[in-house]
Amino acid sequence: MDQAGSAQDAQSLSVCYRHPDRETGIRCARCNRPICPECMISASVGFQCPECVRGASGTGSAPAASRPRTIAGGAVTADPRLVTKVLIGLNLAVFLVQLAVGDRFTDRFELIGQAYVPLLGSVQGIAHGQEYRLLTAMFLHAGFIHIAFNMLSLWWIGGPLEAALGRARYIALYVVSGLAGSALSYLLAAPNQPSLGASGAIFGLFGATAVLLRRLNYDMRPVIALLVINLIFTFSWSGIAWQAHIGGLVAGIVCGYAMVHAPRRNRTLIQYGTCALILAVVLVLTLLRTAQLT
């Protein structure tokens, strides 16, 4: 019994053969080497490591249906963090524009329901036909600490998630979570209360990561602890749009579940159908709030 228990413990403490700093309980179905979510490639049975997939492709016998796929069915790419890098670059570029142009730029694109904006000299907001603010507010930040914290979080949690989902599904998750956060903030916050930042989308990534870790039977304690800390900050610090965080988190959990638990048959339909359903909820919430304010 002691030897069996020791063997099980050793297996649970295996580390990815390509990333020795990452513990994993998943092994390649061909060579039995331990692989992390960034390295695992969905196969007809289980998961395979990149070397085994390349070896099969090199023989010319692998059918088109068994091309490398992520756990969510996305295409495996040479740079699994490309979208995350682009998102960080886009956020930084917009922040530089904010610094260069000033508050007039921020006032024109931040999330606000309905309010008179002195710098623009008129009543502004989503209720006045500026629905684009639901999206543009996701790329604005209130200062150096704000953007630094968000971009570090995006890099730390977004990169591995992008590798596990694939680019298209990762983009869908990010945008849907961010819009859900914006919509809930628009619905519940005071109409003249501005909000901005990528936090809603990032909380969506947190939620999807928790779902993914549970799907892979990984230790969820680190991500749960980090999420709890962020939620404590959300509700204890003034000036934080908790509505955007909660909206993004809920949307991320729902989308993440659809991404990693959808059956192989009709998987794409279920995944993107769930995203479309959440967008429909965003639309309904937006129309409802606009009707209240006008």
Amino acid identity of 98?
Q
Residues for the chain: how many in total?
Answer: 294
Catalogue the active-site residues.
199, 245
CA dist., res. 250 & res. 203, Å (int) = 9
Q: Given its phi and psi angles, is residue 45 left (phi above 0), alpha (psi -120 to 50 degrees) or beta?
A: beta
Scored b (16 or more CB within 10 A) or e, 46-61 reads ebbbbbbbeebeeeee
Q: How far is Cα 263 from Cα 233, in angstroms, rounded to an integer? A: 37
CA–CA distance, 212 with 118 (Å, rounded to integer):
46
Structure tokens at 49: 């490591």
SS (H, E, C) 8-30: HHHHHCCECCCCCCCECCCECCC
